[in-house]
Amino acid sequence: MRMTHLFTKTQKEPPKESESANARLLVQAGFVDQLMAGVYTYLPLGLKVLQRIQSIVREEMDAIGGQEILMPALLPAEPWKTTGRWKDPGPEVMFQFKGLGKRDVGLGWTHEEIVTPLVQKFAKSYKDFPVAVYQMQDKFRNELRAKSGILRGREFNMKDLYSFHTSVEDMEAYYDKVLEAYKRVFERCGIVAIPTEASGGAFSKVSHEFQTPTESGEDTIFVNKAGDYAWNKEMFPKMKDGDDAPDGSGPVKETKAIEVGNIFKLKNRFTDAFKFTFVDEKGKKQPVYMGCYGIGPSRVMGTIVEASHDERGMIWPKSVAPMPVQLVSLQSKDKTMQEKIENKSEALYEDFKKLGVEVLWDNRDMSIGEKLADADLIGLPLRLVVSEKTLKEDSVEWKLRAEKEMQLVKLQDVLEEVVTFVRE
Amino acid sequence: MRMTHLFTKTQKEPPKESESANARLLVQAGFVDQLMAGVYTYLPLGLKVLQRIQSIVREEMDAIGGQEILMPALLPAEPWKTTGRWKDPGPEVMFQFKGLGKRDVGLGWTHEEIVTPLVQKFAKSYKDFPVAVYQMQDKFRNELRAKSGILRGREFNMKDLYSFHTSVEDMEAYYDKVLEAYKRVFERCGIVAIPTEASGGAFSKVSHEFQTPTESGEDTIFVNKAGDYAWNKEMFPKMKDGDDAPDGSGPVKETKAIEVGNIFKLKNRFTDAFKFTFVDEKGKKQPVYMGCYGIGPSRVMGTIVEASHDERGMIWPKSVAPMPVQLVSLQSKDKTMQEKIENKSEALYEDFKKLGVEVLWDNRDMSIGEKLADADLIGLPLRLVVSEKTLKEDSVEWKLRAEKEMQLVKLQDVLEEVVTFVRE
């Protein structure tokens, strides 16, 4: 994409109400725009990141047998009254209003009340189980004080997976499978996310959150020595940094963290409410067991920014970057040289296009300093610079955003090297 | 996908409240599920159709320079008060309620009030124009009487494109470009959609709708002799079938039709309200001109069903079918033969998978009649049947859903022929 075509612009100064790094950097770089507190528009570069995260999540959900569906956001009150959640937590988290004449309706903040009767319509015999369905959808929460940029929004993107089983054992086995799939999702998104024991709420003793350690996190967790398991302070309010871990694996380390996913064993909390049973081999009705599993792609996007930026801007992992490469053509005072820079850049840009490599080409008429500052702010993984200096050596400058070092790569080799970089 | 894995099931009888062919067939085949009037869940097969339509729309919008963004559905009242649409049409079409403490908010049914101030933030000089942005999003309408299945919903999927220009001429030229892109979208989706002159509403004398002729349509249009242009009865209330066309091209034909898209020249109706101007070459402020263009992918999906079905079920065009092929293994009373059918079918299914051909494999333990009836109901473009009879001739039965004829294709040729069919 040519930057002259991109309708957004970077801002020299961070926005005034920059409550958190992700809001400040994403707004400043033109990835998102705040419409009201906790409600954001995804602009072209930001939407590409969100879509890449969604693709990774979708692949991993499909790989564990999840079937993608799309439930509505506009929901009738009745099933929520059946489970009691129309009143508790009710309007505290759910937008509720009268619509369609005088009918009570609300906006979806989670979908147990919708998915349970839906699956119940089709799954009746033991032969129909297990069932795992998921959706990728914008959800709504009536947060009185939305903050932390896109980390905790009033409207946010959510992947919610629900599974239904004929036994507790089968539910537990699938829960473990999801836990492994979640590890792969976060690894592919380039963030550390530690499985963390947390309260199971009303449903079960323990659930797991995936927590990404960063200073800006709202949660406090205690990480084990190996760094691959943690305990939420909510469950262990008296634990301190350096204490022995609950599993006896040695001293824990206290850290702030952001919750990027969670998995729950709901058991029969919702299936019982809807009298959802199955008929077993002997023709007898038996209870159905359920699990639910959430990842918020928009929150993952904000977390990546929190965990991966420096004083100059964002540093996108290649797997979720809007594009892998930013091509920067620097200005020259020499008119002939300027033309040569432009032509060479355009030729490279067209070659990359033919090779299927997505490139953000900074072809704007702007100072060298502004262009390099914008490249750092936007933070694509690889920056190629074409300038008077590099052309004199038949080269382009090659710099990874995550590293300080820069080098020259011969023009004749650059296509091949970039393709290798993108595919590796 | 194996049908034993698919959690949905077809229903032998159409649903009771089958107000229209699309609702009846889509629900009966397990493509969608009605949550309340005008509000549907997209089930695995239905969601695939919706996503395929969205991909076609996305490609054509990108091809005319549209930049994809995603605006929120939860909207503040203020910009709607600025244009007057908070009150008129107001709650008649918009869900409005108090949220976030006592703040007035509403759900998006269109986004002029959001996109205009958004683009205004970035586009200031004549050099920044034209700008074309679009989104693919669920929208909401407070319809008192939702009907016609997924054709007119309270929650529905929408692609809305908005363009901004420095002159009326540039706006007109882009309007024509969108008109051509829309023609390509509908052609690729396999439906006839005739550009139809309609009222421009408050904005301009004329707008264009894209109308698909079908008996179940809510609109009445008069189609020209060539069948490539029409006039909406709303604009020509006195016109009758056989009258001479307004452009003198000969007698028109009256028909019912469904509106699947529309394009409007908004001019400065919204840009003026937000004082959105640009600075021209001479440093002078000038008005910005705007167009807006809508296609509802969920409505297109319903329209395809209305326009393309028979008494046995749906007939999906290859471009939007959930999968191109349904592989049906028929039962045999002979146990050895039954095993042979299953093994041969599984081998074919795995081969197709390797070739990247998506196949819905009916591997269920069910009668021949039920399986063939379901294949007709679901309506994938190509049906392959493996049975005792076909295996005796080392063949599979090959039948296109849209045609009556069936033929035998040798097992050794079937992979190649299917790949050719899918790619052509």
pLDDT tens digits, one per residue of A21-70: 999 999 999 999 999 989 999 999 999 999 999 999 999 999 999 999 99
CA distance A73 to B104: 19
Question: Where in A192-270 does DSSP place strands (E)?
Answer: 194-199, 206-213, 219-223, 230-232, 253-267
| A158 in B contact zone (CB under 8 Å) | no
Closest-CA distance of chain B to residue A148, Å: 16
Query: Which chain B residues touch A68 with a CB distance below 8 Å?
Result: 44, 47
CA distance B355 to B299: 32
Q: Is A72 helix (H, G, I), strand (E, B) or coil?
A: coil
Q: At what angle do helices B297-307 and B21-28 cross, to 10 degrees?
A: 100
Closest-CA distance of chain B to residue A268, Å: 20
Q: At what angle do helices B44-63 and B297-307 cross, to 10 degrees?
A: 110
Q: What is the mean pLDDT of residues B82-100?
A: 92
| A84 in B contact zone (CB under 8 Å) | no
Alpha-helix residue ranges (DSSP H) falling in A165-321: 168-188, 269-273, 297-307
Cα angle A322-A405-A52, degrees, rounded to a multiple of 5: 15
CA distance A99 to A75: 10
**Contact yes or no for A33 and B118 at CB 8 A:** yes
- Residue A148's pLDDT band (cuts 50, 70, 90): confident
Stated length of chain B: 424
Query: Which chain A residues touch B40 with a CB distance below 8 Å?
Result: 72
CA distance A298 to A149: 10
Q: How many CB atoms lie within 10 A of CB B313?
A: 20
Nearest CA in chain B to A136: B47
| The CATH number fitting domain B325-423, selected from 1.10.580.10, 3.40.50.300, 3.40.50.800, 1.10.3720.10 | 3.40.50.800
Closest CA to A290 of A169, A162, A128: A162
| B100 in A contact zone (CB under 8 Å) | yes
| B74 in A contact zone (CB under 8 Å) | yes
CA distance B421 to B411: 15
pLDDT at B102: 83
Q: What is the mean pLDDT of residues A304-315?
A: 96
CA distance B70 to B53: 18
Closest-CA distance of chain A to residue B372, Å: 20
User: Which is it for strands A131-140 and A289-295: parallel, antiparallel or unpaired?
Assistant: unpaired
Q: What is the mean pLDDT of residues A348-369?
A: 96
Closest-CA distance of chain B to residue A363, Å: 14
Q: What is the mean pLDDT of residues A84-101?
A: 91
CA atoms within 13 A on the CB side of B221: 32
Judged against a pLDDT cut of 90, whether residue A152 lies above it is answered with: no
Q: CB of B326 within 8 A of CB of B375?
A: yes
- Residue B24's pLDDT band (cuts 50, 70, 90): very high
SS (HEC) of A360-405: EEECCCCCHHHHHHHHHHHCCCEEEEECHHHHHCCEEEEEECCCCC
**Residue of A35, A127, A163 to mutate, testing the B interface (most B Cβ within 10 Å of its Cβ):** A35
**Contact yes or no for A30 and B122 at CB 8 A:** yes
CA atoms within 13 A on the CB side of A31: 31
Taking only the tens place, the pLDDT of each residue in B354-369 is 999 999 999 999 999 9
Give φ, ψ of A83 to 5 degrees: -90, -10
Residue B256 tokens read as 């019912």
Mean pLDDT of chain B: 95
Domain A21-73+108-310 has CATH 3.30.930.10: yes
Of A109-118, A147-156, A328-337, B202-211, the poorest mean pLDDT is in: B202-211
Residue A246 tokens read as 């609950």
**Contact yes or no for B123 and A7 at CB 8 A:** yes
Those of residues 177-216 in B touching chain A at CB distance below 8 A are none
A172-200 in b/e burial notation, b at 16+ Cβ within 10 A?
Answer: eebbeebeebbbebbebbbbbbbbbbbeb
CA distance A307 to B328: 50
% pLDDT > 90, chain A: 90
Judged against a pLDDT cut of 70, whether residue B218 lies above it is answered with: yes
Question: Where in B88-177 does DSSP place strands (E)?
Answer: 96-99, 103-107, 131-140, 155-165
Judged against a pLDDT cut of 70, whether residue A2 lies above it is answered with: yes
Nearest CA in chain A to B115: A41
pLDDT at A14: 86
pLDDT at B145: 75
Q: Which helix (H) or strand (E) holds B184?
A: helix B168-188
Q: What is the mean pLDDT of residues B75-100?
A: 94
pTM over 0.90: yes
**Contact yes or no for B41 and A100 at CB 8 A:** no
A21-73+108-310 matches A325-423 in fold: no
- Residue B308's pLDDT band (cuts 50, 70, 90): very high
pLDDT at B371: 97
For chain A, give every domain's residue range: 21-73+108-310, 325-423
**Contact yes or no for B97 and A95 at CB 8 A:** yes
**Contact yes or no for B71 and A35 at CB 8 A:** yes
pLDDT at B329: 97
Judged against a pLDDT cut of 90, whether residue B238 lies above it is answered with: yes
Residue A40 tokens read as 């954001």
Q: What is the mean pLDDT of residues A369-395?
A: 97
Nearest CA in chain B to A94: B99
- Residue B356's identity, in one-letter code, is G
pLDDT at B187: 98
Q: How many CB atoms lie within 10 A of CB B423?
A: 9
Q: What is the mean pLDDT of residues B16-20?
A: 75
Q: Is A32 helix (H, G, I), strand (E, B) or coil?
A: strand
- Residue B100's identity, in one-letter code, is L
**Contact yes or no for A122 and B8 at CB 8 A:** yes
Query: Which chain A residues touch B131 with a CB distance below 8 Å?
Result: 7
Judged against a pLDDT cut of 80, whether residue A154 lies above it is answered with: yes
Return the residue matching tokens 């009536």.
A142
Give φ, ψ of B344 to 5 degrees: -65, -40
Residue B27 tokens read as 């629900």
CA distance A298 to A138: 9
CA atoms within 13 A on the CB side of B177: 18
- Residue B43's identity, in one-letter code, is L
**Contact yes or no for A122 and B68 at CB 8 A:** no
Q: Which helix (H) or strand (E) holds A37?
A: none
Q: CB of A382 within 8 A of CB of A403?
A: no
| B47 in A contact zone (CB under 8 Å) | yes
Of A119-133, A312-326, B34-48, B194-208, the poorest mean pLDDT is in: B194-208
Taking only the tens place, the pLDDT of each residue in A166-209 is 999 999 999 999 999 999 999 999 999 999 999 876 666 789 99
CA distance A105 to A86: 10
Size of interface A-B (CB pairs under 8 A): 138
**Contact yes or no for B76 and A122 at CB 8 A:** no
pLDDT at B201: 66
Closest CA to B418 of B345, B323, B344, B324: B324
Q: CB of A225 within 8 A of CB of A285?
A: no
Q: How many CB atoms lie within 10 A of CB B45?
A: 24
Q: Is B312 helix (H, G, I), strand (E, B) or coil?
A: coil
Judged against a pLDDT cut of 70, whether residue B202 lies above it is answered with: no
CA distance A38 to A239: 33
Q: What is the mean pLDDT of residues A80-97?
A: 95
| B97 in A contact zone (CB under 8 Å) | yes
Closest-CA distance of chain A to residue B196, Å: 31
Closest CA to A206 of A262, A281, A278, A143: A262
Taking only the tens place, the pLDDT of each residue in B132-169 is 999 999 999 998 777 778 888 899 999 999 999 999 99
Those of residues 124-143 in B touching chain A at CB distance below 8 A are 128, 131, 133, 138, 140, 142-143
Alpha-helix residue ranges (DSSP H) falling in B34-167: 44-63, 78-83, 112-122
CA distance B2 to B374: 14
Q: How many CB atoms lie within 10 A of CB A215?
A: 10
Return the residue matching tokens 């052609």.
B187
Closest-CA distance of chain A to residue B123, Å: 7
Alpha-helix residue ranges (DSSP H) falling in B246-392: 269-273, 297-307, 335-354, 368-378, 388-392
pLDDT at B203: 62
